[in-house]
Structure 1
Amino acid sequence: MAETENSIAIPQDFDGLKTIILERKAQLPKRLRQVAAYALDNPDEIAFGTAASIATSADVQPSTLVRFAQHFGFEGFSSLQQIFRARLRERTPGYDERLKALSGNDHSKLESGSIFNGFVAAAHRSLDNIASSVEPEAFERAVNILAAAETIYLVAKRRSYPISG
């Protein structure tokens, strides 16, 4: 973490930011606590939303987002947003990386069977990543909530969109 003039540690990644938010959450003013809860519950929305859309969803004023970012040592909301965007870049390999992993860097020798095996291996890696990132207690709570629901709506974005259709 970088240090500012006032010796406030500025988080350099999402995990560091999450830790600091959780440590300081009880001391935050009501509206900043509201933004903290929204940010941790909706990190993808923070990464891609505009200050206006995020403020509306979090039920705060856009200026509260700026105050929240500054409270944690960032110059403004945009610099805080970069932490959330970096989290997604680190989590999701790009198409070039996936092609290299799939083909072993030699596109000319790919055969149908090796392409299929590459897709299966990539799917296994994705499932392993999911398995290690889901907390069992949180998953159990989600199962109970869904089991008790009368109606469940599926909404998906980006690569998940076709699955929900």
Structure 2
Amino acid sequence: MASKHPSRWRTLFKRRDHDRFERFNIVVAILLAGWVPSVLMLVVSYTILTNTLESKILRDRQTFVQLVAHLVGDDFSRTGGIIEYYQTQPDMAKILTSPDAATAAQQWLNQTFYSHPRVDGMFIASAEGKLVASIPWVPPELAAEFSSESWREEVNAS
């Protein structure tokens, strides 16, 4: 038979509100202890990096433009230097005065062209401006279509 002692019933149904959120408070405290420094570091890093990167991007953009301009200028001057170098070669005179100038010139171009990685194409023209050999190769029947009138005056002037 069940006892009707009131103190026993009170302990069974007694509310324990103060223990109910104790674990939750510990979890929240741990999360806040980890998140607050991370969020603060994120805010500080963002403000510092934004200001630094904006000024650095502006400087780097100017540096990049100057670098590209230098490379383009270097490429043009290098190509001009290559042309001047090969114009003064004794091999060129031998090639152009040989009995089979077109074949000799094409062989010479094939050997020389691949030693210059930044040159897109090469050609050899005779003193009259007639196309003798070229890379990419142009068949003899189409070679007459390439007129020297557009570039010959500038070359003779220099």
TM range (shorter): under 0.3
Length-normalised TM-score, structure 1:
0.26
Length-normalised TM-score, structure 2:
0.27
Q: Higher relative contact order at CA 8 Å, sep ≥6: structure 1 or structure 2?
A: 1
